[in-house]
Amino acid sequence: MTTRIDARFAELAKQGRSAFVTFLMAGDPDPKTSLDIIKALPKAGADIIEIGMPFTDPMADGPSIQAAGLRALKAGMTLKKTLEMVRGFRKDDDATPLVLMGYYNPIYIYGVDKFLADAKAAGVDGLIIVDLPPEEDTELCLPAMKAGLNFIRLATPTTDDKRLPAVLANTSGFVYYVSITGITGSASADSKVVGEAVARIKRHTKLPVCVGFGIRTPDAARAIAESANGAVVGTALVDALRASLDAEGRATSKTVGAVADLVAALAQGVRGAKQAAE
């Protein structure tokens, strides 16, 4: 089974470049604007789009992404509406891979089997569930793979060689390497250290390795993309979105463009990477 994620990485490998992966929270600052932003991302240069599922207790996220989740929840965003948003995106774009990222609790409440069937039907390609360790693969990971969705796992600087095989055992799509210890948006990634970590992970898997956390500028994205198969940016995009809102936290005429423009600049950084490495 080839998913859109597999197809996209195969295509990028042919072009000899890394993927630019964007993250935004579903429903931030409101469902309509959120869909408009996500629709604008592929044209701006996003190769893969991660969509956050808003949750009341996002313990791995820093203040920016937590605030985005709260804005989305306040605007009435739910998991059901997140899947509706995916369907809305798929009306015009059947190629760009979409990954839902978040926590297990909303999925558990929704019902695992129903969620997987609805997510697949809506056009979701993969899941990143940050609070489900490999020991709990039977909960969601194995059923997700059976349903034809990639289950993408996080590896961190503290994931040692003994732990890696367990983390990679049922992973598909790509491996998401968290470049810093700590919460999202809290520090900058060191490209040399990241390069060594990516090489280490690649000794254990043939899957593409994408690196996220701590990438805020085109130069940082370029540096990461030289050693990794993809660079993931979330906090910087969420911050650009927030900066475009009015005093009441509502979308303005600048909101969609503010995010799309930053995506375009970061995408240039990622696209410049491989040429620099050759």
Residues known to be catalytic? 50, 61
Three-state SS string over the chain comes to: CCCHHHHHHHHHHHHCCCEEEEEEECCCCCHHHHHHHHHHHHHHCCCEEEEECCCCCCCCCCHHHHHHHHHHHHCCCCHHHHHHHHHHHHCCCCCCCEEEEECHHHHHHHCHHHHHHHHHHHCCCEEEECCCCHHHCCCCHHHHHHCCCEECEEECCCCCCCCHHHHHCCCCCCEEEECCCCCCCCCCCCHHHHHHHHHHHHCCCCCCEEEECCCCCHHHHHHHHCCCCEEEECHHHHHHHHHCCCCCCCCCCCHHHHHHHHHHHHHHHHHCHHHHHC
